[in-house]
Structure 1
Amino acid sequence: MTDEQNQMPSTGDQSISNRLYTADVGQDLALHTTTISLSSTDQSNSSRNTLVCIAPEFGSNMYRFRVGEHDLMYTDQVLLKNKNYTGNFVLWPFPNRVRDKRYTYQGQMYSLEDVQRPGNDAALVHGLVFDRPWQYTQPVIGPDAVSVTTYVDVNNESPYYTGYPFDSRLSLTYTLSGTELTVTYEVHNKSSRALPFGFALHPYFSTFADKHDVFISIPAQAVMEADDEMLPTGRIFDINKVMYAMYDLREPTPVAYLKLDHVYTRLNKPALSILDYKKLAMQLHVSATDDFTHVVIFTPEQVPYICIEYQTCSTDAINLHHQSPALREAAHLLEVQPGATYSGALHYTIVFTT
């Protein structure tokens, strides 16, 4: 952290038209950590105010996305303080799972055996940075948006470096404009060799009291078969076929009817998913740049949330990548050449239906 950053908390504001933009960096007494808040205030309709909160030291977890009085991000504060699975956490460089905690890249085998995760630990789950402390820059407040950048470095002092020895920096820029949040990721390869990666965010979107009143639609034409460890077999099911029609979410479907933990692919363009809160007269639109080729839908029972995880690759892409041309295409592993950068973006947009 720089001396300038240590002078927090800081606040600022700027307005244009009917919106007032502010930013705050300070200490959250309940979480016992530094948090960053970005807000977009509608000066004529408080039900359209938007607030985003990020905890850099907790893996750059975006633990709050509030619109009016409704917090669309489900966050368990105990889990958040333990850097566990809640809020909206970062999956990088391996979204989802890695079979047997090992992989081969460019002829060399790497082991991730030292990485420990809660629950079933047979496969590496959810990458290497969601439980690491991140750094951040000063928020930037403009006439029509407010933004902040967080980042984490991988080098020979990083945990698990032997399992992923690719010197690099992952940066996330959160930009709030009106009721739209854009999260732009950038991977900078600081090493002397190609760097393999996949990127995703893992949001727990609130469904509130009744999942029957929340509808989801996903523009995907296929779903990947998974084995008992939730790892891809390599088979892809075309949901246009009658035998796989139960996975079809192209038309709005009540979340209450779903029991899924599946990787969707072959996304239509534009790849716009919609979570429709009927009682709230509000929709959450999720979209992304074309590098996001897969969407994981997770609908656990008896909990008030749904996960819509846009990924730039499949589960276990790092292992599927070298098995065959067909699996290489299905995996969509991304690579960055030495000294180069790669970037993409996710968009969370609130649309009011009345």
Structure 2
Amino acid sequence: MAEDTVLLENDDGLTVEVSPLGGALLAVRWRGTPVLAPTPAPGLASKVLGAEACFPLVPFGNRIKDNGFHFEGHDYTLTPNTSDALVLHGDAWLQRWSILRRDGHSLALHYRQEASAVTPFAYEAVQTITIDGAKLTLSLAITNRAARALPYGLGLHPYFPRRRGMRLFAHADRYWTERENHLPGAMQPVPQDLNFTAGAPLPPGWLNNVFEGWDGKMRIEWPETGLALSLDADETFRFFVLYSPSIDADFFCFEPMSHRPNAHHQPEHGGLVRLALGEVLNGTVTLRVDQLGPSTT
């Protein structure tokens, strides 16, 4: 039977559980305290609900209007892959990855997708997961294996604990409203209740928006646990999606992405990268756990 859970751990107290099913992180804990939140999601390669703490978004993240797009003189059609009406988060989060290499502190997973009647994308993806002290590094690389050039993107979909006293720090220049089918609506200045530059709690209601003009940095502070988590993304990731269903949810998502949702229908393909046969797109996100200092209030 194939191995479905791999444990990475170190003497500093960082533990990460990974599943080749969907290339998903199942749990991330710092000295026993969750810093990513296992949350029901329709992944784990079974297309039924499974508890995931993070999964990769390849060859795109979020949704595509009308389940299709036009690119360089060709029309392409995709088939919905969950109960959602629109194809969601690409292919790889719903498939089994293979283990390329592993040791106690790192794991490399591989996935190959062939073009078919349900997707035009043919590619290879590699996800490398590494722990070092209080630091977790997630790297993604995708290589186009289709004969034609196609637009590709990358992203990560982590779930973080939402606690009453938490504060989020992240700077963005603009955000997009949400319209029907959870697609981006209009680009606007960031409103005050979504301005996290100086740190702020999440607003109480539904939240599902893409932000751009991001500097690749994010921080969460949880006074209840005395922990903070800092995220640093490389230049591939210049957008993030912020999602939370309500103040009563015990999680929220901060999703680094290389492109906007529905980028296939936007000018210059919304951050997607044209890859010819054999060309590669890669990106890296690093998460680091810190102890909060004494309160100054």
Paired position in structure 2 for 1:54: 18
1:246 to 189, 193, 210: 193
Does residue 1:236 correspond to 2:187, yes or no? yes
Counterpart residue identity of residue 22, structure 2:
G
Looking at structure 1, the residues matched to 16 and 217 of structure 2 have their Cα atoms a distance apart, in angstroms, of 21
Looking at structure 2, the residues matched to 289 and 78 of structure 1 have their Cα atoms a distance apart, in angstroms, of 26
Paired position in structure 2 for 1:91: 57
Give the Å deviation of 1:197: 1.1
Counterpart residue identity of residue 133, structure 1:
R
Paired position in structure 2 for 1:328: 268
Please provide the CA RMSD for this pair.
Answer: 2.2
Paired position in structure 1 for 2:107: 148
Question: Which residues in structure 2 correspond to 1:262-273 (within 5 Å)?
Answer: 262-268=209-215, 271-273=216-218
Contact 1:94 1:316 in 2 (8 A): no
Using the size of structure 1 for normalisation, the TM-score is: 0.76
Looking at structure 2, the residues matched to 137 and 93 of structure 1 have their Cα atoms a distance apart, in angstroms, of 20
User: What SS does the corresponding residue of 1:310 show, helix, strand or coil?
Assistant: strand
> C-alpha offsets along residues 21-41 of structure 1, whole Å, 9 cap, x if unaligned?
xxxxxx8xxxxx521111121
Tell me the number of residue pairs that the alignment of Structure 1 and Structure 2 aligns: 289
1:342 to 258, 281, 284: 281
Change (3 A) 1:167 1:80: closer
Q: Which has the higher contact order (CA 8 A, sep 6+)?
A: 2
Contact 2:178 2:208 in 1 (8 A): no
State percent identity of aligned pairs: 20
Looking at structure 1, the residues matched to 205 and 169 of structure 2 have their Cα atoms a distance apart, in angstroms, of 12
Structure 1, unmatched stretches of 5+, are 1-5, 7-26, 28-32, 43-48, 321-326
Does residue 1:352 correspond to 2:291, yes or no? yes
Instruction: Answer 1 or 2: which has greater helix percent.
Output: 1
Give the Å deviation of 1:258: 5.5
Paired position in structure 1 for 2:32: 69
Paired position in structure 2 for 1:19: none
Give the Å deviation of 1:221: 1.5
Give the Å deviation of 1:79: 5.8
Paired position in structure 2 for 1:203: 158
Counterpart residue identity of residue 253, structure 1:
A
Change (3 A) 1:347 1:231: same
Paired position in structure 1 for 2:260: 314
Does residue 1:102 correspond to 2:42, yes or no? no
Change (3 A) 1:117 1:166: closer
Does residue 1:182 correspond to 2:146, yes or no? no
Counterpart residue identity of residue 34, structure 1:
D
Looking at structure 2, the residues matched to 259 and 273 of structure 1 have their Cα atoms a distance apart, in angstroms, of 21
Looking at structure 2, the residues matched to 245 and 91 of structure 1 have their Cα atoms a distance apart, in angstroms, of 29
Paired position in structure 2 for 1:219: 171
Question: Which residues in structure 2 correspond to 1:265-304 (within 5 Å)?
Answer: 265-268=212-215, 271-301=216-246, 302-304=248-250
Counterpart residue identity of residue 165, structure 2:
D
Looking at structure 1, the residues matched to 203 and 173 of structure 2 have their Cα atoms a distance apart, in angstroms, of 21
Give the Å deviation of 1:204: 1.1
Counterpart residue identity of residue 246, structure 1:
D
User: What SS does the corresponding residue of 2:7 show, helix, strand or coil?
Assistant: strand
> C-alpha offsets along residues 40-99 of structure 1, whole Å, 9 cap, x if unaligned?
212xxxxxx00011110x201111111112122222479665544742122211201111
1:133 to 96, 104, 109: 96
Contact 1:80 1:87 in 2 (8 A): no
Change (3 A) 1:228 1:166: closer
Structure 2, unmatched stretches of 5+, are none
Paired position in structure 2 for 1:167: 122
Looking at structure 2, the residues matched to 78 and 258 of structure 1 have their Cα atoms a distance apart, in angstroms, of 20
Give the Å deviation of 1:313: 0.2
User: What SS does the corresponding residue of 1:250 show, helix, strand or coil?
Assistant: strand
Contact 2:6 2:18 in 1 (8 A): yes
> C-alpha offsets along residues 174-205 of structure 1, whole Å, 9 cap, x if unaligned?
11111111111111223333231111111111
Counterpart residue identity of residue 107, structure 2:
V
Contact 2:106 2:128 in 1 (8 A): yes
Give the Å deviation of 1:289: 0.7
User: What SS does the corresponding residue of 2:156 show, helix, strand or coil?
Assistant: strand
